[in-house]
Structure 1
Amino acid sequence: MTRSSTQGQETQRGASDAPERDETTVEGTGSTESAEGAESAGDGDSAGDGDSRPEAGRRRPGRGLRVLRWTAVTLAVALVAAAGAGYLYYEHLNDNLKKDVLNLGDHKVAAPTPNAAGQTPLNILVIGSDARDSEENQQLGGARETFGSTPLADVQMLVHLSADRNDMSVVSMPRDTLVKIPKCTDPDDGKVYPASEGRVMTNQSLGHGGPGCTVATWQELTGIHIDHFVMVDFAGVVSMADAVGGVPVCVDANIHSRDSKGHGSGLKLEKGTHPVKGEQALQWLRTRYGFEDGSDLARAKAQHMYLNSMVRMLRENATLSNPNQLRRLAEEATGALTVDPGLDTVKKLYDLSTELRKVKPERITMTTMPNRYVGARVEPTEDAEQLFRLVREDIALDGKDTEKDKAQETEKVPDDPAAADDDIAVQVRNGTRTDRLAMAPGRASSVAALLVEQGFAKAVADPSVLPSEDRTVVRYPSADLEGDAHRVAKSLGIPAGSVQRSTDVSGVTLVVGADWREGAAYKAPVADDRTPESAEALNGADDSACMHVNPAFTWS
């Protein structure tokens, strides 16, 4: 199996934007590793920027370059769709695709329950690797001494396609987010990477056996079932941008991303809207110095604008009907990708892109995971969990789910009828602990007693200590227990949407959540299904967006 390995101006955001060095703090150990060195050519980030590699003293590759791979991935999927129909017979396109295992962790998140129409959402994790595993990637990435070093997943974006295929949500996670990486096993050599003792930067997950460990890390953090991953390297980015003829981008002032010490991407544009392609497209996606406060979040905003513009262009640009152009595009796209076995042929990618193309630009919402600083790193906030919940529950981030809500008001009747109440075995667990409150004592026993009073004679309390559960849920492991689970939920007034299929339970299991810490009657909380403002949502149809240029990087 082959893997694709994919300072100058002070910023206003804080410690993480100070002059950069190779420094990673691992929460729980208090240890810090540091390695300094001169910055290589490029965006000025290659000497550091809070990264860690197993090899002490290694200079990290340019951070700016890593931020463009998600765009290449999304573009590749769309372009393979266009090119695939005419070139499926080329077997070498399939051979171009590199493959890897989907999930290397032990914990699996069950697929969501289908809606009333039998449809399920689709979640794809887009990964950008910073590996320098080829001469072309090395030339693009700079930092020659990092050739062949352990790759980092410095770009991570979750693409969520709704069950009804009406809307798409994209969630970006900052590369320096502190997370717990689960135990992962490398499929190539069987090496076991133990779970991290404390929290470490999320980009390190790729080095724990491959992209499947990055998938496992996302699932542990978010509780979102991930169906596929797509990973891309440096090499295909410039050529694909050339092949599609350029992407319109906008700046509100003249910009030159270069300071007196040579830091910056080198992007130089006049005020206004301009099509960028090739090296200039690469510079746009790398630029940190010169956009807004110079932080990674500003760079992510520029990437979102680029992607939205790309999607609109692909829908409107007739030049993609040129057979030679399509052939070149298909070659470049397939050569740049590493995919899981579920996407290991051009036909499968074509089918995926057909699904993605059903969504109109105005129903695409780009977001960044809400975060706060922890020293020079960031961590998810409460708003991040709100964003994850919306994705888990397939709620559109643009707030336009009215019609879908109406269609789902009619409760789905399980195919499996419920058994008699006194024959339904129910385990009741206490999940009432929160970040601020200790576990409410005796809740599992008291709710189990409520069920016994209502005729569920086989209801018992499970003393297991659980992580917090925001909402009370009823879980079941297999289709033959679905009817029983819905019957238990209905008897307590728990909404049908809180009944979930999960392989984490062996039978019907009621988890009493933080929303039911006391009392005998369950009152479902009024759901706030609004996308948090801190996610900085950008609509896919917004063609008026323009990047603000930092006055220190303008010219006349």
Structure 2
Amino acid sequence: MARPRPDRADGIQPPVRSAGAARHSDDPAVGPARHLGAPRRLPAWLKIGTAVVSVLLVGVLAFGAYWVIRLQGNISKASLSAGSSKTEGAVNDSNDRMQILILGSDTRDGKNAQYGTADDSTGYGHSDVMMLMDISADNKRVNVVSFPRDLLVDIPKCTDQKTKTVYPAQKNVMINAAMSEAGIGCAVDTVNKITGLEIDHFMMADFNAVKELSNAVGGVDVCISDPVYDPDSKLRLPKGTSKVQGEQALAFVRTRHAFGDGGDLGRVQAQQSFLSSLTRKIKADGTLTNPSRMLGIADAITKNLTIDDGLASIPTLLTVGNRLKDIDVGKVAFVAVPTVPAAADPNRLQLAEPGASQLFAAMRKNVDLTDPTATPGGSADPSASPAPAPAETAPAYDKTLQPVAVANGSGVPARTQEILQSLTAGGFTQLAQLAAKPVATTGVYYGAGFADVAADVAALLGIPASQVLPAAGVTGVQVYLGSDLVGGTATGDAQVALPPDIVNQTAGDTVCQQANPELITR
């Protein structure tokens, strides 16, 4: 016969509560819940698994935090501008068209002291490399446009954003000196002035960045037509393909005499070939999708990198890098700004017209330089029906006899040739250029009897009818360009003409550099 439990309720008095149950309620009348009882122990394997997962999670978080702090601490920052005003809003780093000015500094400070004294790079230093990287909004193509260091340009008035020192505008100055006084922002302002674009970001690396990056990827393949030795840069390479890294990689991109005729254009082509090969290697090795390799490259780059405030965060840099990982190497176009020997100094270069203006107009219109017939932002849709051509009415005058003058007050000298080219293509051949003061608003002015001609000129250039005005003292038609047309499209939706050889190579091309005959060794 089973013995009754001494604490069992008799139906009249409330049951006696255990100490464990008392902890669950302040009401003494509430008895223990039926499910309460001795706690069940977790299996040992579950305890161990939970501990391991916890340790791994903490380790991953600590590892990620370490690298973010380390990489962020590597970065140096500088202002994007040297005083110029920006008319465009900030870009979305993930899906807007983005333009980044890439600079290679010749500074001899710190780890770069072995390449010369501080006197060899005055002020903020000079830019041995200047390339404008233009990433399309759809992340399907990249244009990389090189500006030779010996190119003579007009540098605008610039203000050092650290010291607030104002430096006056300069004429016919080598473009590599644009940042030497007022800083990197002055180089950005100078390229904006030349091209009519508004650059979104910049990245500037020093000598050491090339060495460490080439080491991080295990070397970069380069090709040369003949064995060469340059005593200045110490570049020594045999004929054919070689793998360069460290000091030899730096010598390859720095040499001024080893390629072509020993001038700056041979150097630009060698730098483009180096970057093409580097792009192919990174893509082939799967580096952009390999976190371990990416961290090594990011560490090598950020230790030697100066960037603008808008780009100066690790998440932003990773976002930009992620945009490049799936681009077809055949859609990474390397271009050199068209140049000719300068009239003021045959040892220097000046922009070649109309090629330079055509290139800058194409860039403002977001043209795919590898396929100028494609629609901006991506490839042309072959299934799309062409828009019907507007009906044209023949003008009641002979275009070839109408006097049209162009006065460029936009602040962008290259716009003059672009406008003249557009007018010529539109049938106007009696053209002239006038001196102009800077103005904000573009206008088309006409004399008595030329209202219809002025209207046709404005329509050709995409200038609103409200800006076509009669003016006493004007003979014929005068197009006065203002800064409002700098980033605009002068010829509406008309296709931009481009020199047929504007693209030097794509990242998919393997190009051997022609050795300078004077430095070939046997």
Residue identity opposite 1:444 in structure 2: Y
> What CA distance in whole angstroms lies between the structure 2 residues aligned with 1:513 and 1:363?
24
Using a 3 Å threshold, how does the CA distance of structure 1 residues 503 and 187 change in structure 2: closer, same or farther? farther
Contact 2:124 2:181 in 1 (8 A): no
Report the counterpart of residue 473 of structure 1 in structure 2. 462
Cα shift at 1:393: 0.6
Contact 1:399 1:530 in 2 (8 A): no
> What CA distance in whole angstroms lies between the structure 2 residues aligned with 1:123 and 1:313?
23
- Give the TM-score normalised by structure 2: 0.66
Q: How do 1:364-375 residues align onto structure 2 when only pairs under 5 Å count?
A: 364-374=332-342, 375=345
Match of 1:311 among 245, 254, 279: 279
Residue identity opposite 1:138 in structure 2: A
1:81-120: per-residue Cα shift (whole Å, max 9, x none)?
xxxx967853131121111111123343546999xxx964
Match of 2:112 among 137, 149, 153: 137
1:247 equivalent in alignment to 2:248 = no
Report the counterpart of residue 444 of structure 1 in structure 2. 445
Report the counterpart of residue 234 of structure 1 in structure 2. 207
Match of 1:166 among 137, 140, 156: 140
Report the counterpart of residue 395 of structure 1 in structure 2. 367
Report the counterpart of residue 36 of structure 1 in structure 2. none
1:277-299: per-residue Cα shift (whole Å, max 9, x none)?
11111121122333221111111
Report the counterpart of residue 125 of structure 1 in structure 2. 101
Using a 3 Å threshold, how does the CA distance of structure 1 residues 555 and 504 change in structure 2: closer, same or farther? closer
> What secondary structure is seen at the aligned counterpart in 1 of 2:179?
helix
Report the counterpart of residue 233 of structure 2 in structure 1. 265
Report the counterpart of residue 155 of structure 1 in structure 2. 129
Cα shift at 1:330: 2.5
> What secondary structure is seen at the aligned counterpart in 2 of 1:268?
strand
1:379 equivalent in alignment to 2:350 = yes
Q: How do 1:348-359 residues align onto structure 2 when only pairs under 5 Å count?
A: 348-359=316-327
> What CA distance in whole angstroms lies between the structure 2 residues aligned with 1:276 and 1:133?
24
> What CA distance in whole angstroms lies between the structure 2 residues aligned with 1:512 and 1:242?
43
Report the counterpart of residue 96 of structure 1 in structure 2. 74
Contact 1:107 1:216 in 2 (8 A): no
Cα shift at 1:250: 1.0
Using a 3 Å threshold, how does the CA distance of structure 1 residues 357 and 138 change in structure 2: closer, same or farther? same
Cα shift at 1:143: 4.0
1:325-371: per-residue Cα shift (whole Å, max 9, x none)?
54443222111111111111111111011122332100011011111
Contact 2:150 2:264 in 1 (8 A): no
Query: Which structure 2 residue ranges, 5 or more long, are not aligned?
Result: 1-62, 388-403, 409-415, 418-430, 437-442, 468-480
Using a 3 Å threshold, how does the CA distance of structure 1 residues 470 and 145 change in structure 2: closer, same or farther? farther
Contact 2:107 2:118 in 1 (8 A): no
Query: Which structure 1 residue ranges, 5 or more long, are not aligned?
Result: 1-84, 259-263, 412-428, 455-467, 475-484, 490-501, 516-523
Which one is further off, 270-279 or 431-440?
A: 431-440
Residue identity opposite 1:123 in structure 2: Q
> What secondary structure is seen at the aligned counterpart in 2 of 1:90?
helix
Contact 1:132 1:149 in 2 (8 A): no
1:297-335: per-residue Cα shift (whole Å, max 9, x none)?
111111111110100100112578887654443222111
Match of 2:120 among 142, 146, 156: 146
Report the counterpart of residue 360 of structure 1 in structure 2. 328
| Higher relative contact order (CA closer than 8 Å, sequence separation 6+) | 1
Using a 3 Å threshold, how does the CA distance of structure 1 residues 378 and 257 change in structure 2: closer, same or farther? same
Which one is further off, 198-207 or 301-310?
A: 198-207
> What CA distance in whole angstroms lies between the structure 2 residues aligned with 1:187 and 1:110?
20
> What CA distance in whole angstroms lies between the structure 2 residues aligned with 1:511 and 1:349?
27
> What CA distance in whole angstroms lies between the structure 2 residues aligned with 1:227 and 1:320?
23
> What secondary structure is seen at the aligned counterpart in 2 of 1:216?
helix
Using a 3 Å threshold, how does the CA distance of structure 1 residues 301 and 88 change in structure 2: closer, same or farther? farther
Contact 1:397 1:531 in 2 (8 A): no
Using a 3 Å threshold, how does the CA distance of structure 1 residues 152 and 236 change in structure 2: closer, same or farther? same
Report the counterpart of residue 298 of structure 2 in structure 1. 330
Using a 3 Å threshold, how does the CA distance of structure 1 residues 469 and 306 change in structure 2: closer, same or farther? farther
> What CA distance in whole angstroms lies between the structure 1 residues aligned with 2:287 and 2:497?
40
Report the counterpart of residue 476 of structure 2 in structure 1. none
Using a 3 Å threshold, how does the CA distance of structure 1 residues 250 and 194 change in structure 2: closer, same or farther? same
> What CA distance in whole angstroms lies between the structure 1 residues aligned with 2:374 and 2:289?
37
Identical-pair percentage: 31
Q: CA RMSD in A?
A: 4.1
Residue identity opposite 2:308 in structure 1: D
1:176 equivalent in alignment to 2:150 = yes
Contact 1:363 1:540 in 2 (8 A): yes
1:546 equivalent in alignment to 2:515 = no
Residue identity opposite 1:104 in structure 2: A
The aligned length equals 394
> What CA distance in whole angstroms lies between the structure 2 residues aligned with 1:321 and 1:223?
36
Cα shift at 1:552: 3.2
Which one is further off, 524-533 or 299-308?
A: 524-533
Cα shift at 1:387: 0.8
- Give the TM-score normalised by structure 1: 0.62
Using a 3 Å threshold, how does the CA distance of structure 1 residues 447 and 394 change in structure 2: closer, same or farther? farther
Residue identity opposite 2:262 in structure 1: G
> What CA distance in whole angstroms lies between the structure 2 residues aligned with 1:410 and 1:348?
39
Report the counterpart of residue 555 of structure 1 in structure 2. 521
